[in-house]
Amino acid sequence: MRVVVTGGAGFLGSHLCERLLARGDSVVCLDNFVTGSAANLAHLAHDPRLEVVEVDVTDDIDVAGEVDLVLHFASPASPVDYLKLPIETLKVGSIGTLHALDLAQRTGARFVLASTSEVYGDPAVHPQPESYWGNVNPVGPRGVYDEAKRFAEAITLAYRTTHGVDTGIVRIFNTFGPRMRPNDGRAIPNFIRQALAGEPVTVAGDGSQTRSICYVDDLVDGILAMADSGHAGPVNVGNPHEISMLALARWVIELTGSSSSVEHIARPVDDPTVRQPDTTLAVELLGWQPRVEIEDALQRTIEWFRQEAAHGLDLPPLTPDDTEHILSGH
Ligand code: NAD
Ligand code: UDP
């Protein structure tokens, strides 16, 4: 297959590109590197089946030739990122999704949208089944991300019903693993970076709020199972392993052998109180469920961060020359 991955230089996108190449597909990665990096694909740059194109998908998507599958993953995803990039986030969820759908329509490709558990907002139903409509504040700070993804879901369905595009929607729950930016602001990379540096680990509020956390390898299995199916979704893809942020912070401190203390910081506005996927549909429709134990997943991620730290954890961003070199690597 020839697969177009928007956001392919990001955390999830780079793991998808890697897995697609490993199973024999060709990959066209479209990315503007706003929150991702060509460095995430550097280890694959020798592969002639990988094409990396620097483009903002809200401007245009112009991919020549046959396309079998479009995985639309371009979007800032960390709250710190999307709060810094509110308009860009709304544009990539709306105009970017429109362009990616147009590409799928033109080429007859299947289209899979990376939606999010954020469409459930601060949920009044727990755990969240796909039939739950959510509790989102459109004019709160998180609205720029949540409403962009809700629009993206709506237009994806409209292309299915109006233009007959073969679409699928996955609602991804908090996922972690190697290649998360240590300073992207999300809880797990923050906790690991702080614990490894011996800094206080910052827990928002009293830390009783929960998330359900999934290892990236499991997530990629779920996405590809959805891509290979003909299902429209939405389907929740995530690990139901639910944990409070305080317990997670203490667990990371223990696993890193750190002497860091916990420091309580202000809770962000509209921060969801609980979140856990009901994965019945994923199991029934896709035969998918996560396999990696969370302790094992945290250890693998910590190990990756440790090795990155040995090479200088907070390296400055790549220069344009570095990026060019990586892009032209084959
Ligand atoms: P990420 O920030 O690491 O990756 C996003 C990628 O999209 C980056 O490489 C970025 O440069 C690129 N991008 C953003 N705007 C673009 C544009 N206009 N044109 C081209 N490229 C653009 O984030 P991630 O965690 O890998 O998330 C990837 C996708 O999965 C996002 O759509 C996100 O909403 C979704 N998602 C992720 C999670 C998670 O836990 N990681 C949870 C739910 C949903
Ligand atoms: N959080 C925290 N400390 C941090 C970063 C985040 O306690 O240094 C909290 C955050 O307030 C939220 C949870 O951890 O309650 C998950 O946040 P994250 O940004 O990882 O993801 P999201 O809110 O999008 O689920």
pLDDT digits (tens, 9 = 90+) for 159-176: 999 999 999 999 999 999
CA–CA separation, 17 vs 1, rounded Å? 12
> 21-79 pLDDT, tens per residue?
999 999 999 999 999 999 999 999 999 999 999 999 999 999 999 999 999 999 999 99
- Tell me if 27 is assigned to some domain: yes
Q: Is 109 in the pocket of ligand 2 (CB under 6 A)?
A: no
C-alpha of residue 201 to centroid of ligand 2, in Å: 12
Burial of 297 (0-12, 13-18, 19+ CB in 10 A): buried
How confident is the prediction for the chain on average, in pLDDT? 93
Out of 82, 120, 145, 159, the active site residue is 145
- Tell me if 94 is assigned to some domain: yes
Task: Looking at the CA of residue 205, tell me the nearest atom of ligand 2.
Answer: 7
> Residue 147 above 70 pLDDT?
yes
CA–CA separation, 280 vs 299, rounded Å? 28
Q: What is the pLDDT of residue 254?
A: 98
- Tell me if 20 is assigned to some domain: yes
CA–CA separation, 20 vs 2, rounded Å? 9
Q: What is the pLDDT of residue 308?
A: 82
How is residue 223 written in tokens?
A: 């996405």
- Tell me if 192 is assigned to some domain: no
Q: Is 268 in the pocket of ligand 2 (CB under 6 A)?
A: yes
For the question of residue 159 being annotated catalytic, the response is no
- Tell me if 29 is assigned to some domain: yes
DSSP per residue, 121-185: BS-SSSSB-TT---B--TTSTTHHHHHHHHHHHHHHHHHHHHH---EEEEEE--EE-TT--TTS-
CATH code: domain of residue 171: 3.40.50.720
C-alpha of residue 71 to centroid of ligand 1, in Å: 11
CA 271, distance to chain mean position in Å, is 18
> Residue 299 above 80 pLDDT?
yes
- Say what angle helices 187-197 and 245-256 make with each other, to 10 degrees: 40
The closest residue, in CA terms, to atom 19 on ligand 1 is: 56
pLDDT tier at 326, thresholds 50, 70, 90: very low
Q: What is the pLDDT of residue 311?
A: 64
Closest listed ligand to the CA of 29:
1
CA–CA separation, 169 vs 236, rounded Å? 9
C-alpha of residue 284 to centroid of ligand 1, in Å: 27
- Tell me if 24 is assigned to some domain: yes
CA–CA separation, 45 vs 152, rounded Å? 31
Q: What is the pLDDT of residue 312?
A: 55
Domain that holds residue 322: 2-176+213-240+274-292+316-327
Q: Is 145 in the pocket of ligand 1 (CB under 6 A)?
A: no
C-alpha of residue 11 to centroid of ligand 1, in Å: 7
- Tell me if 305 is assigned to some domain: no
Task: State how many domains the chain has.
Answer: 1
- Tell me if 171 is assigned to some domain: yes
Closest listed ligand to the CA of 204:
2
